[in-house]
Amino acid sequence: MSDSSSATERLLALLEHLGIGKAHVATQISGDIAGLAAEHAERLGGIVLCAPVRLDPAPFTSIAERVLMISGEYGPTFEVCLRAADRLAGAERYVLDSYEALGWSDVAADRNAEIAAALTGFLQHHGADAPPCSVAEGSHAGISYKVEGSGPALLLLPFFLAPSQWAPVVPQLAQHFTVVTLGGRHLGGIAALEDRASVPTYRAMFRTLIDLIAPQPGEAILDIGCGAGSLDRQLAQRLGSANPITAIDVNPFWLREAEALAIEDGVAGTIRFLPGNAEAVPFPDNSFDAVFSVTVLEECDADRAIAEMVRVARPGGRIGIVVRATDLPQWWNLDLPDSPEGRPIRRKVTPPPQSVGRQGGRRCEPLPPHEAGRPRRPHLLPDTRDARPPGRADLALPRGLRAVAARPGGAGGLAGGPQRGTAAGAPDDGAPAARGCRPHAEVVSSRP
Ligand SMILES: C[S@@+](CC[C@H](N)C(=O)[O-])C[C@H]1O[C@@H](n2cnc3c(N)ncnc32)[C@H](O)[C@@H]1O
């Protein structure tokens, strides 16, 4: 299997490997099974889309009667499933009462009995093979798997950010199905973060962050909210073994996967992955020479996280933060005409991304009024005071930090994009058409 093999090719190879002709599947990320649904529907039994935050119904339209969509009662998953239902005639829906499922909600832990009952009830009306699986655990075609229980095959594909993933419902499901829990770098949220981290503009943005942090040989570095460890592996490859890297995350699933990927990439000796909360970092004061965090402060209390970053950095230590710049428009390389036909499309593509949690969002400053055609000032973080870096008059820095550098825009190749204090995490801007660009705000400071 080559590096560029698709999720569909990998899943088909895994089904062959496990001797499964036809399997039920459950996933949060519909894109992971879109290829199977569109081109190999005969390999699928019942299909459960559990709390999808995005859902393109197109690949499922011809097999809609095999689809169950589970959503919260309100919030993004409800909206997504409601919209998809319009195009999926015959699909069933199950709504989790009084529940808002967000991208990082731990749905299977929060509502385990209901989820297990909904899956079992729905899937028993559809057929799937009972596999002759003798192997309980392994990895094939880049996908890790664990087999439990007996009965028709049920593939559980990874959630995006859910800390417990499917674990809380596996015991109940394994009473009715041969449950095959899948993982690895090619599926789910891991694939999404790995893809994002591999994009040239995102790599450039991170490279810039590290250039500004400028770690000296031997200096200890802390990454807060490491996810799949994608950036830590890039850092370890760049610095060799000269700098010990500690990476923390609240999510045990991500930590396990991050560790496995670091081993796969041969950098496990340089990075230690540990459980830890950004709001209460589990290290004494003055422990690190450099501390950074990339797209994490949106998901927690940013004030507390920044205070913790300052506390664990030694005096003179550098602190680097990247957040999604929700007060900047997304940038697209569509060439849309400024005409009655083009204007409605322009309006649709300009809203900023909505991937910010309640706390993170609530604590951000309100958006400044949009100035047509000009980037808006990056209001980086809440409760800021003016501590302006020389020559960067309009970048506000968090309280308690002294600016040493702030990266001008375009660090990620954001041609024509925001110019101050921002960097781009985006698909390659050399891409031919219709590629989106989500701006990020990036700041590096040193602890006084
Ligand atoms: C969007 S991912 C970013 C991962 C990584 N920094 C990257 O850029 O690839 C956000 C990560 O922050 C973690 N996270 C969220 N809240 C956290 C907290 N309070 N403490 C530590 N990690 C947290 C999540 O578990 C997730 O792995």
Rounded Cα distance, 330 and 296, in Å? 19
Q: Does 182 have pLDDT greater than 80?
A: yes
What are the tokens at 45?
A: 């039994």
pLDDT at 312: 97
Least confident of 34-48, 131-145, 291-305: 131-145
The amino acid occupying position 63 is I
Structure confidence at residue 129 (pLDDT)? 94
Of 253, 228, 182, 196, nearest in space to 13 by CA: 182
- pLDDT number for residue 14: 97
Residue 325, pLDDT score? 76
pLDDT(373) > 80: no
For residues 432-447, give the mean pLDDT: 67
At residue 420 the predicted structure's pLDDT band, cuts being 50, 70 and 90, is very low
Query: What confidence tier does 440 reach under pLDDT thresholds 50, 70, 90?
Result: confident
User: Whole-angstrom Cα distance, residue 379 to residue 389?
Assistant: 15
Which residue matches tokens 């073994």? 241
| pLDDT for residue 411 | 29
- DSSP for residue 408: P
What is the dotted CATH code of the domain comprising 7-189?
Answer: 3.40.50
Q: Report the predicted TM-score, pTM, of the whole model to 2 decimal places.
A: 0.74
d(CA 291, CA 221): 6
| DSSP assignment of 163-223 | TTTTGGGHHHHTTTSEEEEEESTTSHHHHHHHHHHHSHHHHHHHHHHHHHH-PPTT--EEE
Residues of the chain with CATH 3.40.50: 7-189, 199-225+278-368+375-446
Q: Is the CB of 114 under 6 A from ligand 1?
A: no
- Whether residue 135 contacts residue 128, with contact meaning beta carbons closer than 8 Å, is answered with no
Closest CA to 110 of 50, 152, 177, 183: 50
pLDDT of residue 412: 29
> Residue 183's beta-bridge partner residues?
144
Q: Are 379 and 421 in contact (CB under 8 A)?
A: no
Residue 229 scores a pLDDT above 90: yes
| Distance in Å, CA 295 to ligand 1 centroid | 7
How many angstroms does the Cα of residue 40 sit away from the middle of ligand 1? 35
- What pLDDT is recorded for position 336? 65
Helix, strand, coil fractions of the chain, as percent rounded to 5: 30, 25, 45
Q: Is 50 helix (H, G, I), strand (E, B) or coil?
A: strand
- Residue 390, pLDDT > 70, answer no
Q: Is 226 in the pocket of ligand 1 (CB under 6 A)?
A: yes
Whose alpha carbon is nearest atom 2 of ligand 1?
227
Determine whether the shortest distance from the Cβ of 199 to ligand 1 is under 6 A: no
**Both tokens assigned to 75:** 């919030």
Q: Nearest residue CA, atom 13 of ligand 1?
A: 225
State residue 443's pLDDT score. 85
The atom number, within ligand 1, closest to the CA of 225 reads 22
User: 178-183 and 143-149 as β-strands: parallel, antiparallel, unpaired?
Assistant: antiparallel
Nearest Cα neighbor of 173 from 36, 46, 80, 32 is 46
Per-residue pLDDT tens for 299-344? 899 999 999 999 999 999 999 999 887 666 555 555 667 788 877 7
With a 6 Å cutoff on the Cβ, whether 251 touches ligand 1 is: yes
Residue 34 near ligand 1, beta carbon < 6 Å? no
Residue 125 CA to residue 91 CA, distance in Å, equals 13
Q: How far is CA 260 from the centre of its chain?
A: 18
Q: How many angstroms separate the CA atoms of 389 and 420, rounded?
A: 11
The topology under which CATH files domain 199-225+278-368+375-446 is: Rossmann fold (3.40.50)
Mean pLDDT estimate for the chain: 81
Report the separation in Å between the CA atom of 46 and the middle of ligand 1, taken as the mean of its atom positions. Answer: 32
Quick check: CB of 425 below 6 Å from ligand 1? no
Contact 29, 40 (CB under 8 A): no
CA torsion, ordered 180, 175, 49, 21, to nearest 10 deg: 50
Distance 196 CA to ligand 1 centre (A): 14
Evaluate whether 271 touches 237 at the Cβ level (below 8 Å): no
How far apart, in whole angstroms, are the C-alpha atoms of residue 448 and residue 443? 16
Share of residues in the chain with pLDDT > 70 (%): 76
φ, ψ for residue 190, nearest 5 deg: -60, -45
Residue type for 160, please? Answer: F
pLDDT given at position 115: 98
Q: Are 55 and 84 in contact (CB under 8 A)?
A: yes
- Ligand 1: which of 249, 273, 297 to mutate, judged by most atoms within 8 Å of the beta carbon? 249
Determine the distance separating the centroid of ligand 1 and the alpha carbon of 348, expressed in angstroms. 29
Mutation probe of ligand 1 site: the residue of 196, 296, 303 with most atoms within 8 A of C-beta: 296
Per-residue model confidence as pLDDT tens digits over 142-164: 999 999 999 999 999 999 889 89
Pocket lining: 249 vs ligand 1, CB cutoff 6 Å: yes
> DSSP secondary structure string, 332-344?
E-----SSTTHHH
User: Does 278 contact ligand 1 (Cβ within 6 A)?
Assistant: yes
pLDDT of residue 374: 35
Report the SS3 class of residue 113: helix
Helix/strand/coil for 128: coil
Binding site membership of 250 for ligand 1 (Cβ less than 6 Å): yes
pLDDT at 201 over 80: no
Give residue 377's pLDDT: 34
